[in-house]
Protein backbone atom coordinates (compact mmCIF):
# COMPACT_ATOMS: atom_id res chain seq x y z
CA UNK A 1 0.00 0.00 0.00
CA UNK A 2 2.80 2.39 0.85
CA UNK A 3 4.38 2.03 -2.60
CA UNK A 4 1.07 2.70 -4.36
CA UNK A 5 0.45 5.85 -2.28
CA UNK A 6 4.01 6.99 -2.96
CA UNK A 7 3.54 6.51 -6.71
CA UNK A 8 0.29 8.46 -6.65
CA UNK A 9 1.99 11.24 -4.67
CA UNK A 10 4.87 11.54 -7.14
CA UNK A 11 2.49 11.42 -10.10
CA UNK A 12 0.45 14.26 -8.62
CA UNK A 13 3.53 16.33 -7.84
CA UNK A 14 4.88 15.69 -11.34
CA UNK A 15 1.56 16.88 -12.73
CA UNK A 16 1.84 19.99 -10.58
CA UNK A 17 5.32 20.81 -11.88
CA UNK A 18 4.21 20.02 -15.42
CA UNK A 19 1.28 22.43 -15.12
CA UNK A 20 3.58 25.23 -13.93
CA UNK A 21 6.02 24.64 -16.77
CA UNK A 22 3.21 24.37 -19.30
CA UNK A 23 1.51 27.50 -17.96
CA UNK A 24 4.50 29.83 -18.07
CA UNK A 25 6.43 28.21 -20.89
CA UNK A 26 3.67 27.71 -23.45
CA UNK A 27 0.19 28.87 -22.46
CA UNK A 28 1.16 32.40 -21.40
CA UNK A 29 2.08 33.16 -25.02
CA UNK A 30 -1.58 32.83 -26.02
CA UNK A 31 -3.43 33.65 -22.80
CA UNK A 32 -2.11 34.97 -19.51
CA UNK A 33 -5.45 34.37 -17.71
CA UNK A 34 -5.36 30.72 -18.81
CA UNK A 35 -1.78 30.44 -17.52
CA UNK A 36 -2.86 31.91 -14.19
CA UNK A 37 -5.74 29.42 -14.11
CA UNK A 38 -3.35 26.54 -14.68
CA UNK A 39 -1.19 27.82 -11.83
CA UNK A 40 -4.22 28.00 -9.54
CA UNK A 41 -5.03 24.38 -10.35
CA UNK A 42 -1.39 23.45 -9.75
CA UNK A 43 -1.48 25.29 -6.42
CA UNK A 44 -4.24 23.00 -5.13
CA UNK A 45 -2.46 19.75 -6.03
CA UNK A 46 0.33 19.64 -3.35
CA UNK A 47 -1.96 19.69 -0.29
CA UNK A 48 -4.23 17.08 -1.88
CA UNK A 49 -1.18 14.94 -2.73
CA UNK A 50 0.06 15.20 0.88
CA UNK A 51 -3.31 14.11 2.23
CA UNK A 52 -3.43 11.15 -0.15
CA UNK A 53 0.17 10.12 0.60
CA UNK A 54 -0.39 10.24 4.38
CA UNK A 55 -3.79 8.55 4.39
CA UNK A 56 -3.98 5.37 6.44
CA UNK A 57 -4.93 2.35 4.40
CA UNK A 58 -7.29 -0.34 5.70
CA UNK A 59 -4.45 -2.83 6.19
CA UNK A 60 -1.92 -0.35 7.60
CA UNK A 61 -1.04 -0.83 11.26
CA UNK A 62 -1.82 2.24 13.31
CA UNK A 63 0.40 3.33 16.19
CA UNK A 64 -1.87 2.01 18.95
CA UNK A 65 -3.13 -1.17 17.30
CA UNK A 66 -1.88 -4.42 18.81
CA UNK A 67 0.93 -5.96 16.82
CA UNK A 68 -0.04 -9.56 17.53
CA UNK A 69 3.08 -10.22 19.60
CA UNK A 70 1.84 -10.49 23.22
CA UNK A 71 5.20 -9.69 24.77
CA UNK A 72 5.70 -6.60 22.60
CA UNK A 73 2.11 -5.43 23.17
CA UNK A 74 2.53 -5.85 26.93
CA UNK A 75 5.77 -3.85 26.85
CA UNK A 76 4.18 -1.00 24.86
CA UNK A 77 1.10 -0.97 27.12
CA UNK A 78 3.41 -0.63 30.12
CA UNK A 79 5.26 2.28 28.48
CA UNK A 80 1.99 4.00 27.58
CA UNK A 81 0.74 3.65 31.16
CA UNK A 82 -2.13 1.35 30.20
CA UNK A 83 -0.93 -1.42 32.51
CA UNK A 84 0.96 -1.54 35.76
CA UNK A 85 4.68 -2.35 35.58
CA UNK A 86 5.63 -5.98 35.98
CA UNK A 87 6.94 -6.99 39.39
Classified as helix, coil or strand, 14 is helix
pTM: 0.63
For residues 70-76, give the mean pLDDT: 80
pLDDT for 28: 92
Q: Please list, in sequence order, all residues whose beta carbon lies within 8 angstroms of the beta carbon of residue 46, skipping any fewer than 6 positions away.
A: 12, 13, 16
With beta carbons less than 8 A apart as the criterion, state whether 48 and 12 touch: yes
In order, the DSSP letters of 53-85 are HHPPPTTSPPTTS--S-HHHHHHHHHHHTSSPP
Percent of the chain exceeding pLDDT 70 equals 82
Four-CA torsion 17, 19, 20, 26, nearest 10 degrees: 130
| pLDDT one-digit tens code per residue, 36-49 | 999 999 999 999 99
Amino acid sequence: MYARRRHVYFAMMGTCIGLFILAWGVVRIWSVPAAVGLCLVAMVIPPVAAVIANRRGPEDRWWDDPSGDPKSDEWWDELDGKKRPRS
